[in-house]
Amino acid sequence: MRAATLHGQTARHLSFAFWLCALFVCPVALADQNAVISVYHHVSASTPPSTSLSPEAFRAHLSFLAENNFTVLPLTQILTTLNDGDDLPDRTVAITFDDGYESIYSTAFPLLREFGFPFTVFVSTGPIDRQQTGYMTWEQLSTLHRAAVVIGNHGTEHRSLLELSDSEARVDILAAQARITEELGPQPRLFAYPYGEFNDASKRLLADLGYAGFAQNSGAVGPTTEQTALPRFPLAGLYSGLEGATLKYSTLAFDVQTLEPLSPQTQLTAPSARVRFEEGDYSQARVACFDDGDPMAIAWEVDLSEDNVATLSTNAKQRGRRWNYVCTAPHTGSGRYFWFSQPWFDESKPQ
């Protein structure tokens, strides 16, 4: 009954907004507080295919963004805008790179400059300090920095936070940031989890240190997205094709909260998740979730005060170290999709 009343109020509010829109100025649409963050690694045809895309494929992604009214903004500007509750241009995107590979400097940077797109590079400082083959040098990173590229933190030695104690993780993050600051001056506090892996303790640590945390599971970002588990779409390997990139760069953020479990770290082969999907420009009946491509069972709770909470369940199957449940729903009135994923990490499995 309570939910029905709330729905009634929302309907009256929308109707009022409609007439206000017809008479004066249109109210803000949900898509104005939405962004998509992509993550790339190598832009090269001669590096490991699973983390690479060719220069031609990368150019195709950038051309798509340029030709379809996307606005590519610095990551920090997107986070600040969303946190302030302000609007972003429709189809806002941020481009990021992890690890600090040489092809970012030699191949991706000239292309991004040609298109005038800002970007962020998350570096692991150890390989750069050792001048390890295949990585950028500090001089190259300094050139990027002078071109307004933000250099974020990806740990010193790319160790998963699931394998470090709280104090080890804290020391590692601060040591990497100190090296970045020594070489380039102060940078915004942005941390990309190595391998995209995190748990509840990692999120609390980043919040305590004042960092935004970036994962590698798919999904769009909105004002209610957890700041220490921001999803990014990986667009390499199998996902480097233009069709997939087009779909993902166009996605919208569900206003969603995973109620259970709190941590994505698990050794279960079929963990269930309890997720609250707030109302949006989509039909609850069209929310669909997938476990590695297989449709999942979605049980919506019948208690009217919680009728937007769903339990997602699946069947046990062979799991690697990382996998995701993906939920989508078509946006009412456009070909775009709301997109959310729940990542899972089993640290007992090999990297």
- State which residue, 99 or 255, has the beta carbon closest to Zn ion: 99
| Distances from the Cα of 179 to the Cα of 100, 134, 163, 251, angstroms | 14, 19, 22, 36
Q: 């007439």: which residue's tokens?
A: 19
Cβ contact 284:302 at 8 Å: no
What the block records as the tokens of 11 is 């309907």
- State which residue, 149 or 253, has the beta carbon closest to Zn ion: 149
- Residues 97-136 as x/- pattern, contact with Zn ion by CB under 5 A: -xx-------------------------------------
- Contacting residues for 89 by C-beta, under 8 A, at least 6 apart: 32, 71, 73
- Minimum CB–partner distance for residue 210 and Zn ion (Å): 22
- Minimum CB–partner distance for residue 154 and Zn ion (Å): 6
Output phi, psi for 127, to 5 deg.
-60, -30
- State which residue, 58 or 195, has the beta carbon closest to Zn ion: 195
What the block records as the tokens of 256 is 């969603």
Q: How many residues bind Zn ion (CB under 5 A)?
A: 2
- State which residue, 267 or 351, has the beta carbon closest to Zn ion: 351
Q: Which residue is nearest to Zn ion (CB)?
A: 98
Rule CB under 5 A: is residue 172 a binding residue for Zn ion? Answer: no
Question: How far apart (Å, rounded) are the C-alpha atoms in residues 212 and 203?
Answer: 9
Closest CA to 100 of 48, 152, 60: 152
- Minimum CB–partner distance for residue 83 and Zn ion (Å): 25
Q: 């507080």: which residue's tokens?
A: 33
- Minimum CB–partner distance for residue 194 and Zn ion (Å): 5
Cβ contact 284:321 at 8 Å: no
- State which residue, 140 or 308, has the beta carbon closest to Zn ion: 140
- Residues 81-100 as x/- pattern, contact with Zn ion by CB under 5 A: -----------------xx-
Which residue ranges make up the site for Zn ion (CB under 5 A)? Answer: 98-99
